[in-house]
Structures are given as C-alpha cells and as structure tokens.
Amino acid sequence: MNTSTTTSAARGTWGSRLTFILAAAGSAIGLGNIWRFPIATAEGGGGAFVLIYILCAAFVGLPVMLAEMVVGRAGERNPVGAIAHLGNGTNWRWIGGLGVLASFIVLSFYSVISGWTIYYMISASIGTFKETLDTDAFFAKLVAHPGKEIFYHGIFMIVTILTVAAGIRNGIERTIKIAMPILGLVLLVLLVRAVTLPGALEGLTYYLMPDFSKVTANTVLQALAQAFFSLSLGMGAIVTYGSYLRKNESLPTSAGYVVVMDTTVALLAGCIIFPALVYANLPLDKAGPGLIFQVLPQVFVQLPWQPWGGIFFGATFFLLLSIAAYTSAISLLEVSVSYFVDEKGWNRKKAAWTLGGGAFLLGIPSALSLGAVNWLTELPGIGMSLIDLLSGPLTDGALVLGALGLSLFVGWKWGLKRALVEIRKGSPEFKLTSIWAASIRFVAPVAISMILAFQLYSLFASDTPAEENSEDPVIETANF
C-alpha cells in the first residue's frame, strides 16, 4: 500500500504537512489557552511562570507530543488500535481506551462551554452588552434557565459532527484551512486594540514581570499540567491526527511548530486580557475563572467609540473563543470516531452522529449543574458541581495518566529503537535522539508521576476542593 498518494481509500490522509500542523495546532489552541493560561500566569508569578511553562512545554510537552505523533503514524490507527498493533495486542491498549473515553467526556462539557461562547458572540453582536450590564446576573440567567444553554450546546455539537462526518480531507482539513487564518487575524486585531489602550503597559507589566517569590513546587506542577492540557496530550488526539500523516513528513518539525504556535497564542491571550482589565479598572488579581463570561463583558462596554467599539470587539473576542473551541472539539470527536471506524467497522457518518449525539446527551447534566438542578450543582458528598468535577480533577487525572502510559509505552515497551526508525522515515537527519530518549524514558514519566501524586494528594488531603477561588459559587471550573 502506498500511503503517500492521495486520500487512501480506507482512512484518509492529510493533504499536506501544513494542514496536519494546522489541525494539530487547532486541537491544541483552545479555551485552555485563552482563559486558563493568562490566569495561571498571573497567579504563578508572571514572567517567572511563563519561563517555567516554556521549559515544561519544551522538555516534557514537546517530547510527549512527538511520541504521540510517532505512535499514531506508525500504528496507522486510532489510539487503541495503534497501541495494540505496535505492542502486539498487549494490555497497553487500555491507555488508548482511556484516551478514547476521556476525549468523549471532555467533548461533552467542552461543547456546553462552547455553546456559551456562541451565545455571548451573538449577544455582543446585537448590542446586548450595555453600560448598565450586570454580567454576573447575565451569566447566571443563562445557566439557570438551561433551554437556551442546551440549544447552543446542540448547535455547536451539530456543526462539530457535520465537520467530522465529512471526513479528514473534506471536513476537518477544509475547516481548518479557513478557521486557522481567521483565528490568527482575529487574535491580531484584538492584540492591537488591547496594547493601544491607555494603561496597557501597566497590564502587561502585571502579567509578565517575573516575581520569583510566588513560585513554589505547586507552581511548577501547575505549569506542567497546564502544558499537557493545552497541548492536547494524553487523550489520544495527537495519536489520532498523526495516524493520517504520510510517511515522508517530518514529525519533529511538526511537533515543534505545534508547540510554538500553541505557546504563542497562550502568551498573546494574556497580552489581550490584562491591558483590557487595567483599562476598565477591573481587579487583576480577582480574575478567577469567571473571567471570560462575567468580567470581560464589562470591559467591552467601556471601550472607546461606544457602542460600536464594544459591539465589534466584544463580538470579535467571542468569535476568537468560538473558533478556538471549534477546532479543538473537532479533534476531540475525531478520537472516538476513529476508534469506532477502525475497530468496529462503523462508517464515519454513523460514528460521528452516534458519538456526537451521545456527547450532546452526556453534556446536558453538565449544563444543568450551574444552578439549574441543585444536586448537580453541589454533588452530594463531593461538594462541587458536575461540570467542575468533570473539567477539573477528572480530566486532569485522565490526561496525566494517559500521557504517563504513553511515555512508558514508547520508552520501555514498544521501544525507542522502533520509534526512531519511524521518525527517521520523514526526517533522516533527526539529531536530538538522546535528549528525546532521556525525556521519554525518564524526565516525562517522573514529572508526570509527580503531578499525579500531587493531584491525588490535593484531592484527598484537603477538606476544601482542590481548586482555588472556591469563593465564587457560580463558576469555578478549573480547566478550559
């Protein structure tokens, strides 16, 4: 079989390396970059956190990303099938299974939140955000009367399903080629607006000035966990995308581009958010996770050239979020779809509609868990809302476990020698062999085990929930 010709009949391939890189970057660049990264940075000592994050992304995230790409391309299958194939059908394939399950669950609540971004985009466009806006009440109303919320969750899911159902070339690739340039443009427009606002320098200083006194062991682990989440690692997403890649493409270069693009967008998101907060005189250190849906709308109504300035930049900001969420959701759905197509022989359309539909239904309890239904809002015995539980500890745990398993599989079971043979198919000149080997065998597993130990510790050892900012009852979701 010659996989380097055009679309291979059975599974499909990317049209070029560029589209693969853009698709993987689209998966990585998501709600996590725009929301979670700036907050984590401000809390973790500004520039000091950025520095630590970059080291984590470069020395742990990048090697694991490369490992995922290698497994996908060598296995030429979904995460379960690829690991089973390379590991001769051993139990290691459960790591892939965990990824399939985790990506399905993440899709369910990711789509709920993405629905909010669409609703906010529309609200901003039609000028709903006005001077007197009480954004806390605006958000509370949305989630307390879930008809609207579930409607937009459904719309978002349908668009995601249609994209995935149309296949790699005609669906995902086509979308990515349009969405990613728009994302870049929108980011640039917002960046220019933000850094030319009065007070921008103060915002940037707060954001980026290194404060090493805030750095603790916890900061390092936060940076590491954020890197995994942001790079879409540990859930089989990159394995799946890698499986559609032709043999003559360079994996290390592709992985490098994806990491650089993802990190750049995360950094720039902070350069947009912090100047805007200073401009609107909003507290910087209280920028808890309600930031996007409760705090930022108050910025838009204060921008120059009202009402159009607010309408335009408000709508643009939520467009940025919606696109980022959309290209991530596509890859989340593609993981389980590829599993049912490869392993169960389903056709792509049936798989996309069944799994997307399932994730829609599964998302409904999450949508109801922010005030609409009491016991979901405060889960008995757990004291958190369902959406907080799913998006916080459960997702974190699953992706960290997945990344650990994958590194151990490549480093110790399938073997670095075979992995290197696969890498060299597309980049015979790959030189960083020993650094990559050391990272996959030792650095990544040790670092990941530390996060896991810390997560377990903070889950069981403290009587308050592990997430900070628990004073905000409406929304304290940690991780999107």
The Cα 140–Cα 313 span in angstroms is: 23
Report the site for ligand TRP in 80-139 (rule: CB under 6 A).
103
Please identify, using beta-carbon distances, which residue of 30 and 252 lies nearer to ligand TRP.
30
Q: Would you call 307 exposed, middle or buried from its count of C-beta atoms within 10 A (0-12, 13-18, 19+)?
A: middle
Q: Decide if residue 237 touches ligand TRP (CB under 6 A).
A: yes
Shortest Cβ distance from residue 200 to ligand TRP (Å)? 25
Shortest Cβ distance from residue 412 to ligand TRP (Å)? 24
Q: What is the CA radius of gyration of the chain?
A: 21
Shortest Cβ distance from residue 87 to ligand TRP (Å)? 22
Shortest Cβ distance from residue 27 to ligand TRP (Å)? 4
How many positions of this chain bind ligand TRP (CB under 6 A)? 16
Q: Decide if residue 356 touches ligand TRP (CB under 6 A).
A: no
The Cα 278–Cα 45 span in angstroms is: 18
Phi-psi region of 88 (alpha: psi -120 to 50; beta: other; left: phi over 0): left
Please identify, using beta-carbon distances, which residue of 289 and 371 lies nearer to ligand TRP.
289
Binding track, positions 307-336, relative to ligand TRP; x by CB under 6 A? ---------------------x--xx----
Please identify, using beta-carbon distances, which residue of 200 and 224 lies nearer to ligand TRP.
224
Interface with ligand TRP (CB under 6 A), residue from 235, 303, 320, 475: 235
Please identify, using beta-carbon distances, which residue of 108 and 230 lies nearer to ligand TRP.
230
Interface with ligand TRP (CB under 6 A), residue from 232, 338, 377, 385: 232
Q: Would you call 272 exposed, middle or buried from its count of C-beta atoms within 10 A (0-12, 13-18, 19+)?
A: buried
DSSP code for 31: H
CB 111 within 8 Å of CB 358:
no
Q: Give residue number: closest CB to ligand TRP.
A: 30
Q: Which stretch binds ligand TRP (CB under 6 A): 55-63, 154-162, 191-199, 230-238?
A: 230-238
HEC-encoded secondary structure of 363-407: HHHHHCCCCCCHHHHCCCCCCCCHHHHHHHHHHHHHHHHHHHHHH
Binding track, positions 19-48, relative to ligand TRP; x by CB under 6 A? --------xx-xxxx---------------
Q: Which stretch binds ligand TRP (CB under 6 A): 84-92, 172-180, 224-232, 437-445?
A: 224-232
Please identify, using beta-carbon distances, which residue of 13 and 160 lies nearer to ligand TRP.
160
Find the largest Cα–Cα distance for the chain.
Answer: 64
Q: Decide if residue 263 touches ligand TRP (CB under 6 A).
A: no
DSSP code for 126: T
Report the site for ligand TRP in 366-405 (rule: CB under 6 A).
none
In DSSP notation, 40-70 reads: HHHHTTTHHHHHHHHHHIIIIIHHHHHHHHH
Shortest Cβ distance from residue 221 to ligand TRP (Å)? 17
SS3 271: helix
Shortest Cβ distance from residue 102 to ligand TRP (Å)? 8
Shortest Cβ distance from residue 233 to ligand TRP (Å)? 7
Please identify, using beta-carbon distances, which residue of 140 and 266 lies nearer to ligand TRP.
266
Q: What are phi and psi of 133, to 5 degrees?
A: -55, 125
CB 247 within 8 Å of CB 426:
yes
Nearest to 255 by CA among 399, 84, 426, 93: 426
Shortest Cβ distance from residue 259 to ligand TRP (Å)? 12
CB 399 within 8 Å of CB 47:
no
Nearest to 26 by CA among 152, 149, 174, 161: 174
Shortest Cβ distance from residue 97 to ligand TRP (Å)? 15
Q: Which contacts of 417-425 are long-range, i.e. CB under 8 A and separated by 24 or more positions?
A: 418/74, 418/86, 419/67, 419/70, 419/71, 419/74, 422/70, 422/73, 422/74, 422/251, 423/66, 423/70, 423/251, 423/252, 425/247, 425/248
Please identify, using beta-carbon distances, which residue of 129 and 244 lies nearer to ligand TRP.
244
Please identify, using beta-carbon distances, which residue of 200 and 448 lies nearer to ligand TRP.
448
Block residue for tokens 């699953």:
398
Shortest Cβ distance from residue 297 to ligand TRP (Å)? 21
Can you give the binding site for ligand TRP, defined by CB under 6 A? 27-28, 30-33, 103, 229-230, 232, 235, 237, 328, 331-332, 480
